[in-house]
Amino acid sequence: MPTMNLPIPKIEGPACFDAESCFFQSVAQKISFIDENLLQVLNSFRRQICLEIPLRKDDGKLITIKAYRVQHNNARGPYKGGFRIHQQVTLEEVQMLANLMTWKGAVVNIPFGGAKGGIAIDPSTLTKTELERLVRAYTYQLGDNIGPHTDIPAPDVNTGSQTMAWFYDEYAKSHSTNALGVVTGKPLGLGGSEGREEATGRGVMYTLREIAKDLKMDLSKTKILIEGFGNVGYWAARLINDELKGKIVGVSTSKGGIYNANGINVMAAHDYYVKNRTLKGFPGADFMSPREFLLADCDVLIPSALEGSIDVEIANKTNAQIIIEGANGPVTGPANEILIDKRRVVAPGILANAGGVVVSYFEWVQNLQQFYWTHEEVNKKLEKIIVSAYENVRDLSRAKKISLRQAAYTIGLERVAQAIILRGTGF
Ligand code: GLU
């Protein structure tokens, strides 16, 4: 299992609570118009909500579950970010993820700030009715701290369109006007957007396509390994296969992965996983432990699971030339330094996995306008945003001779800092 305890990289400067914070600090210190006081604002959280939710189980037992919503910064627009349900959720993790949302929205230049939520329980231990009661209680407890112009949650780890439908319904009970824009990632039949489900994987695919173009790489001849077979991993694998003719040599879940150097059939693997809830036993591929899997031979590695899975050992041993962060914060600080020293291309999550929040933005716009777009229109608009954000990041990284991650943070930070300066202190 990937560890949640992120090692602190050796970067000079203020104390850091995790790797992404250190990436941020090291870039912020180099931006001339960010002084100590502004840095303090960028480092702080506007609001942090800690809940303890009582849940009545179907058998009558009462349990209490910790849950959070952290609103990091709203200088550029309403807070925006998903919420996850996972046993490893902590306040510190949600803080880090809220932080990333602020920079992610700014890198792709959509008018949102950053937030994140989390409920600390393994959802597989709950029945569907228990899960629904939990999501409704969480929504109710957040009260008016969320809203279409305040804070707009969305799916993340172990949450999806049904979760968002419950969330919307609970919010709508006490807000009688059309409030579809309170949450994104809703089902198509309830104000959802075409293309939202595949959006994060699609953004990962566009990022890989652009990097491969720059490196003059023929993707049909490269081995692509994808960690994670949830929404991001599955859609990235499928679209890279279908639209780029890329060879997917492995996919994995938290229990282990399957590998075949000649390529695996992504759709067949997905059907097998849906049927058996494991990839073990999938015909024509070797089953590996999660760690063995990450060390398997590949040219492109796409971590799309949880934070911290690409640690020092993996960074030292992987032969992947390109690492694309499908997940949020999968590469630890020290691992990042090793990869950069080895001259590997690392596409940061605040750029590479931004497709999800971009199409969330489209969904929100469609909800507010009550005018809906076709799947093709959504994909075209998404492609334009991801490609132009990538080009900006790549051009800055070339001009300044810095990594893609440093360039992405520079662009994101400058945009947020400028908005704060323009607004004064009243936002
Ligand atoms: N959870 C996704 C992310 O981390 C999507 C957030 C959103 O759509 O607001 O980017």
This prediction's pTM: 0.95
pLDDT of residue 233: 98
Is the distance from the beta carbon of residue 78 to the nearest atom of ligand 1 less than 6 Å?
A: no
Of 301, 288, 200, residue with least CA distance to 246? 301
Distance between CA atoms of residues 300 and 303, nearest Å? 10
The reply to whether ligand 1 has any atom less than 6 angstroms from the CB of 156 is yes
Q: Are strands 247-253 and 79-80 parallel, antiparallel or unpaired?
A: unpaired
Per CATH, the number for 199-347 is 3.40.50.720
Taking the C-alpha atoms of residue 4 and residue 334, their distance in angstroms, rounded to an integer, is 15
404-413: per-residue pLDDT in tens? Answer: 999 999 999 9
Closest CA to 303 of 261, 347, 245, 246: 347
* pLDDT (average), residues 416-426: 89
55 beta partners:
63
CA 80 to ligand 1: nearest atom: 9
List the chain domain ranges: 45-178, 199-347
Architecture category of domain 45-178 in CATH: 3-Layer(aba) Sandwich (3.40)
Atom of ligand 1 nearest to the CA of 185: 8
- Atom index in ligand 1 nearest the CA of residue 328 equals 4
In the chain, what is the straight-line distance between the N-terminal and C-terminal CA atoms, in Å? 40
Domains 45-178 and 199-347 share a fold: yes
Distance of CA 418 to the CA centre of its chain: 24
Distance (Å) from CA 70 to ligand 1 centroid: 14
Helices 404-423 and 19-28 cross at an angle (nearest 10°) of 70
**Arithmetic mean of pLDDT, 207-224:** 97
The two beta strands, 47-56 and 286-288, are unpaired
Average pLDDT over residues 127-146: 98
**Percent of the chain whose pLDDT exceeds 90:** 90
Distance CA 232, CA 377 (A): 21
Binding site membership of 348 for ligand 1 (Cβ less than 6 Å): no
Q: What burial class does residue 8 get, using C-beta atoms within 10 Å of its C-beta: 0-12 exposed, 13-18 middle, 19+ buried?
A: middle
pLDDT of 2 above 60: no
Please write the tens of the pLDDT for every residue from 4-17. 333 333 333 333 34
pLDDT of 418 > 70? The answer is: yes
**Ligand 1 centroid to 79 CA: how many Å?**
11
Q: Is the CB of 356 under 6 A from ligand 1?
A: yes
